[in-house]
Amino acid sequence: MVYVLLDGIGDLPHPDLNELTPLESAITPNLDRIARNGISGQVMSVGEGIAPQSDIAVFNMLGYNFKDKDYVGRGVVECLGCNIDFKSGDLALRGNFATIDSNKKIIDRRAGRIISKQDSIEVCNLINKNIRISADLEITIEPTIGHRVILHFRKKDKVLGENITNTDPAYDKIDGIGIAKSTSTNELYVADSQYNDEGSRSSANIVNSFSDQTIRLLNNCDVNTRRANNGLLPINCILLRDAGNRYPHVQPINEKYGLDFASLVDMPVEIGISKILGIKSYEAGKPDEYELKSETLLNNIKNHDFFYVHIKGPDEFGHDGDAKGKKKNIEEIDKYFFKNLGEGIKDFKDMDVNFIISSDHSTPCIKKSHTDDPIPLLVSGKNIKTDGTSRFTESYSKKGKIGKILGYKVIEQSLHYLNPVIDK
């Protein structure tokens, strides 16, 4: 089984594409071939009315439906994905390098998205060497990919409270779960305690001190002088969100389904999820090296029952509002990932390969953010009783046999459809 999540693939009709979505407008012969052997439907990855972040969405799409305050937060998940030594009682947050003006108004949430690895490392090293809040507080900030960073605090013999609000105005934190706002301000927020407990008040003060010191430190640093000379926006702020202070303990996924799982993932959040769920993970170059990803998958597919593959590309074009770019990216994924994968599978004489193809959430170009719009779902395989689906698109998904389901039921129901003994 190959389970592909195309990050942020769901979209809405766009004027730049003659009122089609990027999926509907894209030429995807290889995805179409898979679709013709399948059935389709729609997914609400976390629930109706919820515009989720990728972390909680992926957990749900893998069958884990967190309730109330069970979830540990994206900061912890990415911290583990970066191999930072995290222990319960520490505090971890996800951060974005950003650009603000002299009035602390956000100019760009990702500092123009043009950030070299050298710049990321230099900025993080500068912060790690110079930011001091108290003698008993350890601070570690690590760059991950692009504008993304992970911030980790540890206080000697103290538990740091996790119930704090974000400084990033684009996301809310509700019962530990990060939710994308439908609209947001350009104001840099001040962190606050959500429940006014002492530990979280202390954490909010730490985060606010870190933010203030970071802005002052980065204002005239060498990295930003160099960036200005190259016509790039400065990295002079870090937007923080999704604090967590607990190590997660959940049922391993192999035990949950009775199958041997593997993953092919790039980003710290998906690497962290794989670690938490006990999934053996593989990496294959940069996020856009689609042909290499297909080759890595083909080389390892026979060693596992179920392969979860996460492809990041479409989401970034959605956030940038670039519908034509998203369409082109989908076509590249079709040409370099799905085509190569399909050709490789033809050589397998001793096994059939089934597919589940979906996403973690919608990122419509016209909204430039995650939304609660349904995402398409395709289940394809040798034993499927097809429903007339011929393309993997939003419009076909509305008419599909599967109907609309919740994300945590996707794997279970897909296995049901793919098993002819069960699906009578």
Q: What number of other Cβ atoms are within 10 A of residue 129's Cβ? A: 9
117-130 and 222-229 helices cross at what angle (nearest 10)? 150
The identity of residue 136, as a single letter, is D
Residue ranges of the domains in the chain?
A: 2-64+250-418, 75-244
**The two structure tokens encoding residue 339:** 């085509």
Q: Which residues 6+ apart lie within 8 Å of 317 measured at CB?
A: 22, 323, 325, 326, 329, 365
Beta-sheet strands, E only, within 28-147 = 38-44, 91-100, 106-108, 137-143
The residue length of the chain stands at 424
Estimate to the nearest angstrom the gap between the alpha carbon of 42 and the chain centroid: 19
356: helix, strand or coil: strand
**Alpha helix stretches (DSSP H) within 252-322:** 253-257, 268-277, 290-300, 313-319
- 177-180 and 171-174 beta bridge pairing: antiparallel
198-218 and 117-130 helices cross at what angle (nearest 10)? 120
3-state secondary structure 185-237: CCECCCCCECCCCHHHHHHHHHHHHHHHHHHHHHCCCHHHHHHHHCCCCCCCE
Output the CA angle 356-359-365, nearest 5 degrees: 145
Residuewise pLDDT in 10s, the chain (424 residues): 999 999 999 999 999 999 999 999 999 999 999 999 999 999 999 999 999 999 999 999 999 997 656 789 999 999 999 999 999 999 999 999 999 999 999 999 999 999 999 999 999 999 999 999 999 999 999 999 999 999 999 999 999 999 999 999 999 988 778 888 988 899 999 999 999 899 999 999 999 999 999 999 999 899 999 999 999 999 999 999 999 999 988 999 999 999 999 999 999 999 999 999 999 999 998 999 999 999 999 999 999 999 999 999 999 999 999 999 999 999 999 999 999 999 999 877 667 899 999 999 999 999 999 999 999 999 999 889 999 999 999 999 999 999 999 999 999 999 999 885 433 3
CATH number of 2-64+250-418: 3.40.720.10
